[in-house]
Each structure stands twice: as C-alpha cells, then as structure tokens.
Amino acid sequence: MDVVSDVIASMRVGQAMFAQTRRDGEWGNRFGPYSGAGFHIVLRGSCWFLAPSGPAKLLTAGDVAFLPHGTMHGLSSAPDQVADLLPPHPAPDGGEALPDAAAEPGQRSGGVALLCGMYQLDEGQAHPLLRALPEAIHIPAGPGRHPALRASVDLLGADLKDAGPGADAALPALLDLLLVYILRAWLEEETSRSQSAGWSAALTDPPVAAALNHIHRHTAHPWTVEELARRVGMSRTAFARRFTRLVGQPPMAYLTWWRLSTAARILRAGDDSLGVVARRVGYTSEFAFANAFKRAFGVAPGRFRQARRTPRLPETG
C-alpha cells in the first residue's frame, strides 16, 4: 500500500453518510462540529461557503469543499448570512446532521443542488498527514483541473440523478473514491506552490517518499537509517536531516509510530496472539512489543484489545 492509501485505511470507520439537498431563495445552514470529515459538492447552481475562518467563498457547479476535522461551518445563499446563528440540525451523536432535501421558502435565487456528506473517522488512529490538513479545503472546478476528481463528481451526480441497478453498491464506492481524489487534489494544489512544505512536500520528494513507501509496505522489516538512506541513494546524515525536516520527526521515530499504529488496528480487528502481532509489525520479542505499546498507549496490548477502544495515538513529534 502507498502512504495515502494507508492514511485513508487508518482513519475510516464504516461507510460515508450523505444527502442530496436542494435549496431556493434566501437560506442558510450550519454544519458541525462532528467527529468526522465533512464534504459539500455543488451539483448545480452556486452558493456561499462560510469557512471556519477567513472570508466567505463562492462555490459554483463542480466545486468541492472538504472539512477534514469536522469543524463548524456554513452554507448560504448570501456571503453575509451569519451561519452560526442559524438553527442547527440535531444529529443522534450530538453533532450536526445533514439538512433534508426540502427547499427553504423565500425569494428565489435560481436554486442550488448540493451533495452534502461526512466520513466517520477514527480520530485516535489519525495519521499525521490528516492532522496536518487545514480546517477547510476548497477545490474549485475548472477546465483541466483535477480531471479524476471531476470525473468522480460527475459519476456521483449521474448516479444520484438516475440511480440504476447496483446503485446501493456504486454510491459507497464512489464516495470512497471521492475521498482519495480530494486528498490527491489537495496534494497537487500544495505541491504546485513554490514553497510547498510538510507532508505535501514529503510525499512528492523522491527520496523521502520512497523511504515512506518502504516503511509502509514492509513495516516488519528491520529497518535502520543506514539501510533506508542506501535504498534511496543518499548519505545517512543527509537523508536523516531531509526526512526529519519534511516529515516532522526522525526516520526511526516515524517507523516506531507507524508500527504501533498498525499493531493497534490489528489488535482491534482480529484475534491473533500478541506474539503474532508483534512479529507482523517488526518486533522480534513479545515482551519488547508489549513494553513499547504500553509506553505509547498507556495500556497493555491485551487490555487494549479487550476494551475494543481507540486511545489517543502516540504523538508524532
């Protein structure tokens, strides 16, 4: 698996929830906060996106707004609409639910059709890439911009407009694909800037990206800084400095974090013995694995599995 695939696999819980919404006239809705990542796609017309911070942004047909951390935000028919004063839509989990498809009364403004939804995320499993994302991401439509994302939006719109046989299987798959393309589009936007830094730079820097893929694809391998540096064609010192600058922590610290994160998911999902789990993530000793896991999570791996819960992952620096 590549790093972005691992990021998505580590954070997703269950299927995405969504609702197709139509609005006319003067209207506004507040969303969030919720324990997940929200998204809005303009299928037809236009509306204003009231971001958690900064000025309102006009969304037009094909635009995507993505809220990686479920931060409170709003959509409205006018840029000066105060979304945080609008009545929220209570959700069973205490957050904000998606609005229904009923149109609000008022002066007609041409109407807008939206696809609004959220991905349930396991915040305790969040990869540092996800935590590094801004509160809100606006990916505008436009000729030649992110064709794969545009294609997935078009497919979603077509399937919602005229659902054919297999729609119950197609829609969840398309929503999963949408998340992949949103993250790809953000990475492309970030790396196109002259001063790209952090994870967007790490995933496009050939030596660091190659090292990350080695770690993710072969987690149990007994990696050393020397071997990783040799694999990517750099000296040990230069590689360690470059990796630390872009990823935010040294290679071995990231390797340990990823091994224990992977172990936590294995423990929650299956019944392998602790010895098997230890070997799968690169520990030759069950005792060493148990000690490392307890230091990171504050609980022994056996208790972690019995509780079937998700404590906070170790900080990544």
In the chain, domain spans: 3-191, 205-317
Q: In degrees, to the nearest 5, what angle opens at C-alpha 59 toward C-alphas 56 and 60?
A: 155
How much is the pTM? 0.75
Q: Does residue 309 surpass a pLDDT of 70?
A: no
Domain at 205-317: CATH architecture: Orthogonal Bundle (1.10)
Q: Does residue 85 surpass a pLDDT of 70?
A: no
The pLDDT tens digits for 174-232 are 888 888 888 888 888 877 765 566 788 888 889 999 999 999 999 999 999 999 999 99
Q: Does residue 78 surpass a pLDDT of 70?
A: yes
User: Is-contact 175 8, C-beta < 8 A?
Assistant: no
Rounded Cα distance, 106 and 265, in Å: 50
Domain at 3-191: CATH architecture: Sandwich (2.60)
Residue range 112-136: average pLDDT?
81
Least confident of 115-124, 137-146, 147-156, 243-252: 115-124
Which secondary structure element, helix H or strand E, spans residue 38, and what is its range?
A: strand 36-44
User: Is-contact 266 281, C-beta < 8 A?
Assistant: yes
The pLDDT tens digits for 106-115 are 334 458 999 8
Of 293, 296, 292, 300, nearest to 312 by C-alpha is 296
Which secondary structure element, helix H or strand E, spans residue 28, and what is its range?
A: strand 28-31
Task: Give percent above pLDDT 70 in the chain.
Answer: 82
